[in-house]
Structures are given as structure tokens and as C-alpha cells.
Amino acid sequence: MTDDATNSTSDANADGIGILAALVRGNLEAAGAFGFDADALARSAGLSPESLADPDGRVPFERYVALWEAIESDARSQRFALWLAQGIQIGALGVVGYVMQHAADARAALDCMERHSRLLGEGVAPTLTDLGDRISLHRTEPPRIARLTALSIAAPLGTVTLLRQLTRLPIEARLALEVAFQHPPPSEPIRSELETILGCPIIYNATETRLILSKPLLERPLAAPNPSLFEYLERHARSLSEKLKGASSTANRVRELLVARVREGEPDQSAIAKALALSERTLQRRLQEENATFAELVDEVRRDLARMYLADPKLAVFEIAFLLGYSEPSAFNRAFKRWTGSSPSAYRATIEGNSNRRNER
């Protein structure tokens, strides 16, 4: 790797927080669905199933770039970028996407993306600038990233796709007003197709990557805002951001492993210690130094995940029990009542009732 490549990568990820695992896994799974050899791509990028197991976990930025470099080496990469961006779903952004989904309008959703950009990963979310009747999403990519044409195409086009999903804008509505890329024009017919999809002027070889959007269209209410869920998920996103700041602590490393493994059954302290390359005694001592115990962390992770899952009406209570590693729903019911004083069903009913009352105001 050249010094230029190394420096440009580290510049984009200076604080070492990595990229959201859900985002990386989504890209890899999409590549497999498109027709790439996903296993070969993962090996090339040094990505293991374990590193992608926790959707809120972190993947080293270098491996994310390596994945896209492997994709870029295939002649189908630009076609894949168009396909990926047009099919992206809000869940690909993890908890940040779910916060955006329940914001009041698309502008507020973009503010959420910028506010919680660390959860997505450094070098992923753009900067927002208000230009009167326009909003600019922009960032200057380091040379190594700017050379990845497929990734550069997918990012702004994917943003437009998500915003159209959230607002349910008619196809004739001109949401994108201008797009600028730092790379040269892609090959035909990709270039013409990109112009047709975006429906706006496109600038190539620009000094920054830029997406200009119509502010009036962004201020239209979202199709299905939910203030109660928004407030809950916003708090959860802030909590994850705080945990990310202290990600080097033993307790947070244990939390990350528990989130990835809790659905496998009752968490095993010895297995977690082994995954951290620690003895059980050392793990216990370090947690004690941080005023935590393994059992408390298991409870905390299960409680937080339970609340998040219960906010999703598509998940049945018995499904949530198994997602949390309980062999029987009754065990989950008892644990949840111990945590909150109410049953899972009653808690969910309270959430839905609060949402209905807010919507009636």
C-alpha cells in the first residue's frame, strides 16, 4: 500500500471508530445477491462472519475500503452501484436509519444522519449546509476513496433513494438539483442512466462530492412519522454514541460481544473472556474496576434490546424472547417485569397508546 493510500484512509477514520457493521454487511450481502462471490469479497477484505454479527458493531475502516476496492476491480462494479443505491432500505443505516424514519420531515431526518454520523462511521455521513431554498450535502473524499467510482456513485444516489422512500415523493418531483463527483465520468451506458435516474445536472472531476437538494421538498412531512418512536430511538442513538466514545472499556467490549451472541442462548462468561483473550479471573477483575459485573451487563443488554424490539410492532413477543436468548417466552416475561415492572405486552401497549395520543394532538 502506498503512503498516499495509507494517509488518505487514516484521514477519513482518524479516531479509529470504524464503520457500522450493519452497513458493511448490507453492502456485502447485496453484492452476493447481485452475483458477486460474497465469500471471496469477504476474504479479500478480511471480513469474518463474527466481525459482522453485531449490526451495531464496528468494522475497521481499512476493511470497508478493501471491500469496495475488491468490488471496484470487477467490470460490473458501476452497474452494481446503481442497483445497490436504487434498492437500498432505511434499515441499512442501523439505528440511525430508524431514527430518520420517524422524524417529522426529510430535513429533520438528514439532521439525524449528521447528528449521529459517528454511529455510521467517520467518512460516511456528509456535512449539511443550508443554502436558502436548497440544502447541500457535501464532503471532500480523500484520494483513495475518490478513486472508488462505484462507491462514489452509490452514496448520493442511495441518499436520494432513501429520501424518496421516506417522503413518498412522486417520481416527477425534482428532489436532486445538482450532483458533483470527484471522479471522472463513468462509462456508458452508466453515465446516461445516472443522469436519467437523478434528473439533474451532474458535475465530474469536482473538488468535493456534493448533493444539492430542494429544501421545500425536504420540509414536507414524512409518510409515517412516529414521535414516540422517534424520541425513544433518538435516546438509544445518543446512548450508543456515548458508548462509542468509551468503546475501549472492557465493559463496552463485553456489551458488543453480548449483543452479537445473546440470541445464541444464555451468555457464557468463559466464552466472552476467551473472545477477549482474557482469563475469566482477569475479566472479572477488569469489570469490577469499572463497577460492573458480567451478570449486570447481560441484564443491561437484554433490557435495552428488549425495549428496542418491542418498539417494532412487526416482532411478536415470543420472537423477541428467542432473539434475546431465552428458551421460553415465560422466562423473558419474568425478566422484563423485573426490569420495568410491567409485562412486555403492557409495555408495548403503552408505547402505542402514547403514539396515538400524540398523533391526535
Pure H helices in 88-226:
94-101, 106-115, 117-120, 143-146, 149-167, 190-198, 215-218
Neighbours of 228 (CB within 10 A): 19
Are 215 and 133 in contact, with CB atoms under 8 Å apart? yes
**Short-list 78, 89, 119, 75, CA closest to 29:** 89
Whole-number pLDDT of residue 349:
86
Task: Return the C-alpha cell found at 28.
Answer: 456485502
Angle among Cα 253, 14, 278 to the nearest 5 degrees reads 25
What tens digit of pLDDT does each residue of 254-304 get?
Answer: 887 888 788 888 889 999 998 888 889 999 998 998 888 999 999 988 988
The CATH class given to the 3-218 domain equals alpha beta
76 CB-contact burial (10 Å; exposed 0-12 / middle 13-18 / buried 19+): middle
In Å, what is the CA distance from 213 to each residue of 7, 98, 162, 169?
32, 21, 13, 13
DSSP calls for 166-194:
HHT--TTS--EEEEE-SSPPPPTTHHHHH
Task: Return the C-alpha cell found at 204.
Answer: 465530474
User: Taking the C-alpha atoms of 241, 151, 145 and 114 in order, what is their torsion angle to the nearest 10 degrees?
Assistant: -30
Phi and psi based region of residue 255 (left: phi greater than 0; alpha: psi -120 to 50; beta: remaining): alpha
Confidence of residue 360 (pLDDT cuts 50, 70, 90): very low
Phi, psi of 303 (to 5 degrees): -65, -50
Are 212 and 176 in contact, with CB atoms under 8 Å apart? yes
What tens digit of pLDDT does each residue of 141-194 get?
Answer: 888 888 899 999 999 999 999 999 999 988 889 999 999 999 999 989 999 999
The sign of the torsion formed by the CA atoms of 111, 115, 116, 122 equals positive
Whole-number pLDDT of residue 193:
95
Angstrom distance (rounded) from CA 318 to CA 57: 25
Neighbours of 230 (CB within 10 A): 23
Q: Do domains 3-218 and 248-360 have the same CATH topology?
A: no
Q: Which fold has domain 248-360?
A: Arc Repressor Mutant, subunit A (1.10.10)
Answer whether 0.85 is exceeded by the pTM: no
Angstrom distance (rounded) from CA 334 to CA 313: 21
Please name the amino acid found at residue 159. Answer: T
Domain ranges of the chain: 3-218, 248-360
pLDDT mean across residues, the chain: 86
Mean pLDDT within 111-119:
88
Greatest mean pLDDT among 118-132, 228-242, 251-265 lies in 228-242
